[in-house]
Amino acid sequence: MTMNKTFSICYNQNIPNTKNIADIIAKYLKEKGLKVIISDLNNLSKICDFAFVVGGDGTILKAGRFYSKFNIPIFGINLGHLGFLSQASENELQSAIEKILNNDYRTEKRMMLECGKYCALNDFVIKSQSQIRTSSISIEINSEFVCDYTADGVIISTPTGSTAYAMSAGGPILTPDLEVLVITPICPHMLSVRPIVVNKNSIIRVYSKNKDEFMVCADGQETFLMADITIKKSVNYASLALLKDNSFYSVLRNKLYWGINPQCKF
């Protein structure tokens, strides 16, 4: 890293200890003569070249959406629960920062989705306004009718989001370098319904033949009501800074225990 770089350190004020970790990172960088901006998640700064994000996956999702507009890479430090999108924990701070400063990392562009003025790095979740009943949901792709769902809802996700809610709903795990959209019904009342993966240029329309409004949620964070929903690939990409020894498959094994035989004790 050259000395004229400006680093942003953003933290989630709702997660304990994130401000302390942000201060530790800032002190370390300032001691090396680097320019630093500290901000909480509600006051993110675009005046930087690289952003450290301290929190959990939700923190990284919100920061990823914000910084995608400016093509600024973000590096996640996990103080949340799962930490699937993060690259380092609290006890790995110094070694992780040194790797960033020595350019010992790679940057991965992650496809995003858009629905009107909203965007999502993981997914858009579409459900009935009433959380206690199923919905009648119709799907069109590129103006062609595809199917009707009777279900608790439907998830439109990116490959990054394929390991989130969509996976829990029975969707496929996709490597994040793919550029496709995944349509996954939530608890469908039909034995024949399966998730479907479609081309990145697909324009997905979700609507109710009864003209009902749906509750739509972007990345589990921004919620709005809409009756006729159009979702497509965003023009922006989230830019994730990843350590070279943290592969997608190692994260699957270490954090989701994918492909690991359970050790049964009787």
Rounded CA separation 11/60 (Å): 10
Q: Which regions of the chain does DSSP assign to beta strands (E)?
A: 6-11, 35-40, 50-55, 74-78, 88-89, 105-115, 118-120, 123-128, 135-141, 144-151, 153-157, 180-186, 196-199, 204-207, 214-218, 222-226, 228-243
Domains annotated for the chain, with CATH where assigned, are 6-103 (3.40.50.10330), 114-235 (2.60.200.30)
Per-residue pLDDT of the chain (266 residues; tens, 9 = 90+): 456 899 999 999 999 999 999 999 999 999 999 999 999 999 999 999 999 999 999 999 999 999 999 999 999 999 867 778 988 888 889 999 999 999 999 999 999 999 999 999 999 999 988 767 788 999 999 999 999 999 999 999 999 999 999 999 999 999 999 999 999 999 999 888 899 999 999 999 999 998 889 999 999 999 999 999 999 999 999 999 999 888 888 888 888 888 877 665 44
Amino acid 266: pLDDT? 44
Active site residue 177: no
Q: Report the SS3 class of residue 132.
A: coil
Q: Over the Cα atoms of the chain, what is R_g? A: 20
* DSSP structure class, residue 30: H
**The tokens of 172 are what?**
């496929």
Q: Per this entry, what is the length of the chain? A: 266
Among 57, 123, 152, 219, the active-site one is 57
Rounded CA separation 181/159 (Å): 7
Q: Specify the residue for token string 């795990």.
A: 173
Element (H, E) at 29: helix 18-31
27-54: b (≥16 Cβ within 10 Å) or e: ebbeeeebebbbbebeebbeebebbbbb
